[in-house]
Structure 1
Amino acid sequence: MTDIQNLIRRIDQLESRNAITELGTRYAMACDEHNMPALLALFTDDAEFTSPSGVMQATGKAEIEAMFIRMFKIRGPAYHWTHDHIIEFDQQNPDKAHGIVLSHAETSPDGEGSLAAMKYEDHYARVDGKWKYAHRSIHFLYYTPISEYGQILQRKDRLVVGDKRLPADYPEALSCWQEFIKTHNT
């Protein structure tokens, strides 16, 4: 690779990094505004949306749309915000990347204020010059009514969905977490 080719690649990655970061902000805004056209425009046609708990599962834009419509119908005002973002580019294909986004949300399912902390594991694809989600997986540290927030990190069943309590998606399921527990007898 020549110096010029390397410079072009590096500039493309800088511009792409910014576009992918903005993708997360656009996702948060579209969710908060219940803006379905804007939300769906962020996904490839064959995108997947998953969660380890299984509470969010969809393949293709039609299923993703149906999943979000079901959620938005029970959820009033919300506010999502993203924190840190790690992006790694595919060295073989400049139109592919993957990353992790740390995020929080304030939501109101069925009129009850709730708080969530989550980590998104994403695969991105550049389609017609625009970066989109090819796969988005949401992992919940907690999703809980505000009334339970003060004690939620002391429980394992930190994912509250309707009348169900489910184990949190992380960190307990992570191999590094389990190895630490095993190694240090905690």
Structure 2
Amino acid sequence: MSAELQARLRRVEDRQELAELVLLYFHVMDERELDALPRIFTADAHLGSGDGVFDATGLAAITDTYQGRFDALGATFHYSHGLIVEFDAADSDVASGTLTGHAEVVRNGTPMIVGLRYRDRYRRTSDGWRIADRIMSYFYYTPADRYVEVMPSDDRNLAYGDPRPADWPSVLTGGDLSWLRSLAAR
């Protein structure tokens, strides 16, 4: 097999492994399987959020962050709408990704629906691909019975009780779109 074909095959395998990694994350969240976090995150990973609520570095801090989140949540169901991956041209063991999805959650006894986006940085380790940096953001996070009322508003993040601005679309929030322009230019 030629070197070019081997490189192309490796990229296909890498994409598949990354797609499975992000789906595994959803299952781990829904099952509250915190012991599986080392299968998902690097030891020095960072977890943040567009609204600034999450900011944890390292597996212990990420585990504590998720435990705190689980303490407020009942049943959850996360589902993916797809992953876009861009490999680092200078380092074949690094990639960036954007994952979109939804979640149905029960937060403090209230059924809620969430429109999610994750901006990730992945790193290949000796054990396979892992998330090295994840920034979660919300298109909306609203009680299910208030969806129709909340959607026309810019303040669609009701996760914490008070209305807060949604993290996107960036055209409305003045956010940085360089990541999207980079992907669109490929």
Choose 152-161 or 16-25, whichever is displaced more. Answer: 152-161
Q: Which consecutive unaligned segments of at least 5 residues does structure 2 have?
A: 178-186
Aligned to 1:150: 148
What amino acid is aligned across from residue 169 of structure 1 in structure 2? Answer: D
**SS in structure 2 of the partner of residue 12 of structure 1:** helix
Aligned AA for 2:173?
A: A
Which SS does the other structure have where 1:15 is aligned? Answer: helix
Q: Secondary structure at the match of 1:10?
A: helix
Distance 1:99 1:65 in 2: 22
1:93 offset after TM fit, Å? Answer: 1.2
Corresponding residue SS for 2:166: coil
Q: Deviations over 1:57-80 (max 9, x none)?
A: 111111101110000011111000
**Amino acid corresponding to residue 20 of structure 2 in structure 1:** E
TM-superposed deviation, 1:164: 2.5
Secondary structure (helix, strand or coil) at the match of 1:168 reads coil
CA contact (8 A) 1:143 1:159 kept: yes
Task: Give the deviation of 1:32 after TM superposition.
Answer: 0.4
Q: Which amino acid in structure 1 is aligned with residue 94 of structure 2?
A: K
Q: What residue in structure 1 maps to residue 131 of structure 2? A: 133
Runs of 4+ in 1 over 6 A off after TM superposition: none
Report the Cα offset of residue 39 of structure 1: 2.8
Mapping of residues 60-75 of structure 1, within 5 Å: 60-75=58-73
Report Cα offsets for 1:103-160 as digits up to 9, x if no partner. Answer: 0000001111000001111100010141100001111000011111112221111111
Please report the RMSD computed on the Cα atoms of aligned residues, expressed in angstroms.
1.6
Q: Distance in 2 between matches of 1:56 and 1:65?
A: 12
2-structure distance, mates of 1:111, 1:31 = 18
CA distance 1:127–1:176, shift in 2 (3 Å): closer
Q: 2:157 aligns with which of 156, 159, 163?
A: 159
Opposite residue 173 of structure 1, the aligned amino acid is T
Query: Which residue pairs with 2:36 in the alignment?
Result: 38
**Sequence identity of aligned pairs in percent?**
32
Report whether the alignment pairs 1:173 with 2:173: yes
* 2:37–2:59 Cα contact (<8 Å) kept: no
Task: State the SS of the aligned residue for 1:125.
Answer: strand
Matching residue of 1:103: 101
CA 1:109–1:131 in structure 2 vs 1: closer, same or farther (change >3 Å)?
A: same
Q: Which residue of 2 aligns with 1:180?
A: none
Matches within 5 A, 1:15-54: 15-54=13-52
| Match 1:118 to one of 116, 119, 123 | 116
SS at match of 2:26: helix
- Most deviating of 25-34 and 35-44: 35-44
Q: Aligned letter for 2:13?
A: E
Secondary structure in 1 aligned to 2:110?
A: coil
Moved more, 144-153 or 28-37: 144-153
> How many residues matched?
175
